[in-house]
Structure 1
Amino acid sequence: MKKLYILFAVAFASLAMTSCFDDPGREVFFDGNVVEFHDGNLPNGFTTTKVRRNATQTDQVDIQVNRVSTNASGAITVNIGVDPASTAIQGVHVNFTGTTVTIPAGQFVATFPVTILTGNINPGERPVLKLIMQSATGADISTNYGDLDLNINVICESKISTEADTWTATSNSRFGTFTADVKVVPVAGVAGQYTISDISAGLYAAFGFSTTQSAIYADNCNKLTFVRVVQSQFGGLGGPRIDPKVGSFDPATNTMIIYWSDSGNNIDGRTTLVKK
């Protein structure tokens, strides 16, 4: 009988709680208009990477602004300015001093262009253009997402390898020297990055493990840096722990040198790859 009373009490409490909630279909929670940068929520801003091919090169980056509202009946006009704290210099790194962008009635997004003076920027520079929403008509500016850091990254053109190429890889570590044929494949949609099919050059395969211990390396003006592991049987496989940490590519001899480590097996490796 006691259990039955408890069941009735729980059921009654559930009904009482349910009756306190309004039907969400009958209430509009937000009917104002707020405007924000689409990438304003990114913790480190928006990064654009451009490949530098000549000294006069320019590129365009489109920046998106969003309407946040359940009501799009009116247009929104936003004045975009540049924060003086920007390290991107007008006429040197960018050609942008500000603009006005309009989100038409019935629309929720609009974009505006920023011109990057790619040919003027040396690879290794990291200029930042700090964009701010100065004023808006027809909407309030988002408190949290009304500014945006545009991080400009310029790299050299990279043509180290194609999918058809095969490389002879030789690794050196505390386990000795190992050699294997590997593939170095460009990462689709990402300039200057390559997936190496076995950075250990057969070390793990010699002990009965997979021949695929793959990782991505980035090339910037013939300097090779570890990006991330793609596939491995070992959780400790990763970037180099000790110096040197930056590898190299010699276009005259088609030779790559990369560095890596395996913390789980206390390995610090160097692998040399020569295109066949």
Structure 2
Amino acid sequence: MKFNKLYIFLALLMTSMSMTACFDDQGADATFSGDYVEFEDGRLPNGVNATLVRASSEQTDLIELQVNRVSTSANDEISVTFEVDPSSTAVSGVHYTLASNSVSVPANEFVATVPVTILTGNIEPSEAPSLKLKMISSTGAEISTNYSEVEINIQVVCPSDISVATDTWMATCVAPGYGTFTATVKVTPLGAGQYVISDVSAGLYAGFGYSTTQEAIYADNCGALSFVARRQAEFGISAPTVDPTVGSFDASTETMVVYWSDPTNEINGTTTLVKQ
């Protein structure tokens, strides 16, 4: 019985070895061949996100898109022509400029760059233009099937230094049906261009016996002030429900104008704050 088991094992082993010998070793002969060209950032699923801080209306910023040679050899130059995809929302001469619609990867080199000049000073914070470039022809290499396109998503923000924690502001609130109220308040920075106003009602609620703390958070984007959220407050202070809804900051006079509402009490307030 033991000998029978041994013979069966040897037979199975020999069969396995003979079957293995019938298969080719694909790994031994599988090597990359060919010449391809691609956008490095074509691999990013959401494109290139370019968030630019706008300091002046004349500002420009340079973004360089890398083009790769994918090859085992770099003996010859590769020339690539690209175009702006019609799906782009960015407008040439308004949001960006391109020095050329072609790029070359020199012989013995594996990368080149496509310079894109962003006209940052022309772009409003409310805009979100996107620029998509697409390779359309090349000499010296084939265009990559998967990475022949790249998209730049442009967003402009401004540096914000409206107030520091030690500043005091004189606030005046006009609320139709309730009157005009004045109070000294704090405007405290929270970071990322956001500020909390200690009493956005400027004493409106305090005039009726309530707390002087009616906090609201606003975001500054290049001088445009938008309601974000209420913080510590006794009432349902909310985003404005009537126009205008976006306030402003005038750096020359150090004056803020913000809008807010209290739907429960049918208040639509306009609060003007002047730094002391």
* TM-score, length of structure 1 as denominator length: 0.56
| Aligned residue number for residue 254 of structure 1 | 254
Corresponding residue for residue 146 of structure 2: 141
Give CA deviations for 1:120-176 in whole Å, capped at 9, x if unaligned. x1546836233256599998639xxx7646134365x65433333210112222333
Identity of aligned residues (%): 37
Distance in 1 separating the partners of 2:102 and 2:210: 61
Structure 1 residues 122 and 228, CA, compared in 2 at 3 Å: closer, same or farther? Answer: same
Shift of 1:81: 6.0
Alignment length, in residue pairs? Answer: 218
1:1-276 counterparts in 2 under 5 A? 38=44, 40=46, 46=49, 48-53=51-56, 55=58, 57-60=59-62, 82-90=84-92, 92-96=94-98, 114-119=116-121, 121=122, 123=124, 126=127, 128-131=129-132, 134=135, 141=146, 148=151, 150-153=153-156, 159-173=161-175, 174-190=177-193, 193-205=194-206, 207-209=209-211, 211-220=213-222, 222=223, 224-233=224-233, 236-276=236-276
Residues 202-242 of structure 1: CA distance to partner in whole angstroms, max 9, x if unpaired?
A: 3345543461412113253x5x3324115144684222111
Matches of 2:256 and 2:229, distance apart in 1: 18
Q: CA, structure 1 residues 210+80, in 2 after alignment: closer, same or farther (shift >3 Å)?
A: farther
Partner residue in 2 for 1:30: none
Match of 1:29 in 2: none
Larger radius of gyration: 2
What is the Cα deviation at residue 255 of structure 1? 2.4
Deviations 1:2-28 (A, max 9, x none): xxxxxxxxxxxxxxxxxxxxxxxxxxx
Q: 2 CA distance for matches of 1:210 and 1:63? A: 53
Tell me the secondary structure at the aligned position of residue 264 of structure 2: helix
Distance 1:177 1:54, change over 3 A: closer
Q: Provide the C-alpha distance between the structure 2 equivalents of 1:227 and 1:47, rounded to a whole number of angstroms.
A: 25
Partner of 1:25: none
Unmatched tracts of structure 2, length 5 or more: 1-40, 67-71, 73-80, 104-112
Residue 271 of structure 1 deviates from its aligned partner by 0.8
CA distance in 2, matches of 1:274, 1:210: 18
Cα pair distance change 1:217/1:137, threshold 3 Å: same
Structure 1: which 5+ runs fail to align?
1-34, 65-73, 101-110
| Alignment CA distance shift 1:141-1:199 (3 Å) | farther
Structure 2 residue matching 1:264: 3-state secondary structure: helix
- Could you tell me whether the CA contact under 8 Å between 2:246 and 2:259 is conserved in 1? yes
Instruction: Output the TM-score relative to the length of structure 2.
Output: 0.56
